[in-house]
Structure 1
Amino acid sequence: MFNVRTIYVKILFNLTVFLSLLLVFLCTFTILDGVRIKETHSSDTQRLHNSWNDTIKNESKIIQPDDDFNVWLIFTKVIDKSPLMYNFKHLINNLLKISSVPLHFHIFVDSNSQIIAESIFNTTENFIFKYTYYNVHSAANSIMDIVDIMKPHFSSRPGTYYSDSLFYLSLGLYRIAPKTQKTAVMLDCDVFFKEDILNLFNEFKNFNESTLYGLAPELTPVYRHVLYSYKLKHNTRLGDSYPNGFQGYNSGVILINLSAIRKSNEYRQKVLSTEFVSTLTSKYNFKGHLGDQDFYTLLGFEHPRFFKTLSCGFNRQLCTWWRDHGYKDIFEDYFKCKQKVIVLHGNCNTRIPRK
């Protein structure tokens, strides 16, 4: 015959163990609007927090002390041991090793890619940082109107909505990012930082009230090629090489002034509209294939006040495809970069010298 008191003690013990495990789980993983946030800790926590405080104290910047250094990445449709997986792993390790400030990674993922990302984060040690996952399907739905406006003009082969949306997430980031987040850096995964990412964040200090985005020049003649018909009819330096022309922008590295975008009714209601984009693409006889990059370039033609043109050293692209496809004689005029290189960009699958 069972002792009733003994049974109650066992039940109470099991309940206590369950509640303790639940408390540990909740302390490690926080759910906020359906997004899982994990913060890692290490023995270097105090050193990095001191570095953060010294930075805020010694620098006059738009970024406030209660803000994180926000880095946004797209990590979707990833399979194990794929080039994108290795690029992502190299970039995370690179940034954690070279950054003097604690970073907050914001990552667009699907379910399988999140598992791979988690396995990569679990290999990092002795660093303090945060990371937040965002379901790419939910994010795509939240910017559906923007994607539908853009894709007829800036997508070479429109496919599924999911695929199209990846190329325009930066344009809708002001909706997706937490309202408390004032600024963001969005990166392609095929980049490598030779210098501290703080150099890039410091560029926000050079933004004025109308500056919404910061991008470095496109270092190939792709927009000279796309604007061929327009240039035949007009005496313009658009698409020509610097210093006299405008080469266009490359979206591998984007500084985004989220606060300014949220405040700009002109940009959100007029610029991001079917009428405006259709008129602009018609004016320049423009049919692109590079997503948000094409839009930024075209908008830069018409409204340069929305942009801060960064040094080419903040996005030193390595792709030479156009040199071998009709532009060998002028390619170096576009490709040269005489500024100090902070970020290498291995676009079009170019190998990055990670040294």
Structure 2
Amino acid sequence: MVVLMRSYAKFVIAIALFTVVVIVYFNPKVPIDVQLKVQTSYRVANKPETKVSIWVTVTKISHGYLLAKFRKFFKSLIGRRGTCHSTFELNLITDNESRPTLDNVISEYLKQYEETRLQVIHHDFQDVLKTVHAKIEPLKRFFQSSKGSYYSDDVFYLSPALHLVAPDTVDKAVVLDVDTEFHSSVCDLHNIFDNFTDTEIFGLAPELSPVYHHILWKWRYFQGEKRKPKAERGNMQGLNSGVVLLNLERMRNNNSVLYDRLISPQWISTVVQKYLFKGHLGDQDWYTLVSFEYPEMIYQLECGWNRQLCTWWKHHGYAETFDSFAKCDGKINLYHGNCNTPIPSN
């Protein structure tokens, strides 16, 4: 009788778990609470744990090119971990339609890299937007060319408000675009937080195109440069947000008053007018303006941690000088295939 009761109990538990899985994966109307989160852990070792908090946003995975990008991103993330023994806490901001596909990719590659310590945390995209709406609206107002344009999508505005989404127990975050591919360990990137000064909150690499040289032409003109200066790399190169290190603790706490002012529509409007700045690249326009006004808040990553490959500007007015902007000497740790540029296979 005891054996029969135990078997019945196991059967009931199995049916309950199966029902939960079916509801979550096959009913897109059921939201995933961003506060509770749904977690999946894979092979976490029984030893004191250090975690690397990694954040990537992937929605509308039905677009085939996004699936291909995520496959390359995730394979490089776990395949290039090196000797790092930290647990990778992968935070996926996604939608209910995309989640099963992303989880299938993760399961596929974990079979090849069985020693990987990985914890996956799903955040529902719409719930995240509700949480950060008030903070990102000023960014969307000033840093998109037009509604419906590529960079008008909300995914390009989330990182400056990520401290509102991440739990208070997470004090540092590595935020990555899905079109990136590691050639070194993400742990080496995370270790750069140790180099931050007391005032630095964000870590970004330089923009490797003349886009901000182009945007700032009116400002330079009224600064006294009556003739068009030679286009070349300089102190106002700007930043690229394909890779961002966020000190979430400082965003929440000791620098929160200044941070709240910098994210306000009043400050953004003032600095946009100062530089006659017509941005269109989402959050990276904001980071760039912060670097102009408060450079002490930005740790500048080496370009090898965000080796951008886009050559659009080379074919749109900067053929002779593009290479001076795009130059990146030293080791390439991470490629960024922005504007759908293929990443070198070797």
2:65 alignment counterpart: 83
| Greater Rg over alpha carbons, structure | 1
**Would you say the 8 A contact 2:231–2:321 is kept in 1?**
no
Partner amino acid, structure 2, of 1:182: D
Distance 1:137 1:269, change over 3 A: same
Inter-partner Cα distance in structure 1 for 2:318 and 2:117: 46
Q: How many residues end up aligned between the 2 structures?
A: 325
Mark the runs of 5 or more structure 2 residues left unpaired by the alignment.
Answer: 25-31
Find the aligned partners of 2:258 and 2:269 in 1 and give their Cα distance. 15
Deviation at 1:253, TM superposition (A): 0.5
Counterparts of residues 168-187 of structure 1 (less than 5 Å): 168-187=157-176
* Residues 28-75 of structure 1 deviation map (CA, whole Å, 9 limit, x = unaligned): x99983311000128xx47xx6xxx6xxxxxxxxxxxx6510110011
1:95 aligns with 2:77: yes
Q: Aligned partners of 1:166 and 1:12: how far apart in 2?
A: 48
Structural RMSD (CA): 3.0
- Corresponding residue number in structure 2 for 1:261: 251
Structure 1, gaps ≥5 residues long: 1-5, 54-65
Residues in 2 aligned to 1:299 and 1:347: alpha-carbon distance in whole angstroms:
22
In 2, Cα distance between the equivalents of 1:35 and 1:304? 35
**1:17 paired residue number:** 11
Question: Deviation string for 1:70-98 (max 9, x for gaps)?
Answer: 11001101116x11111111111111111
- Answering whether residue 345 of structure 2 is matched by residue 338 of structure 1, we say no
Code of the aligned partner of 1:96: I
For the residues of structure 2 that align with 1:21 and 1:158, how far apart are their CA atoms? 46
**Residues 1:153 and 2:142 aligned together:** yes
In the superposition, relative to structure 1, how do residues 341 and 115 fare at CA in structure 2: closer, same or farther (>3 Å)? same
Q: Secondary structure at the match of 1:329?
A: coil
- TM-score (norm. length: structure 1): 0.84
Report deviation, 1:274: 1.2
Q: Is the 1:239–1:246 Cα contact (8 Å) retained in structure 2?
A: no
Q: Against the structure 1 CA distance between its residues 193 and 278, is the aligned structure 2 distance closer, same or farther, given a 3 Å change threshold?
A: same
The 8 Å contact of residues 174 and 243 in structure 2, kept in 1 or not, is answered as yes
Out of 19, 32, 35, which is 1:33 matched to? 35
Deviates more, 1:66-75 or 1:283-292: 66-75
Identify the residue that residue 112 of structure 1 maps to in structure 2. 97
Q: How does 1:102-251 map to 2 (within 5 A)?
A: 102-123=87-108, 124-125=110-111, 126=114, 127-159=116-148, 164-235=153-224, 241-242=232-233, 244-251=234-241
- Matching residue within 232, 236, 242 for 1:252: 242
Q: TM-score, normalised by structure 2?
A: 0.86
Say if 2:93 and 2:123, in contact at 8 Å, map to a contact too. yes
Amino acid at match of 2:70: F
Counterpart of 1:301 (choices 261, 272, 292) is 292
Q: Percent identity?
A: 32
Mapped contact 1:261–1:267 kept (Cα < 8 A): no
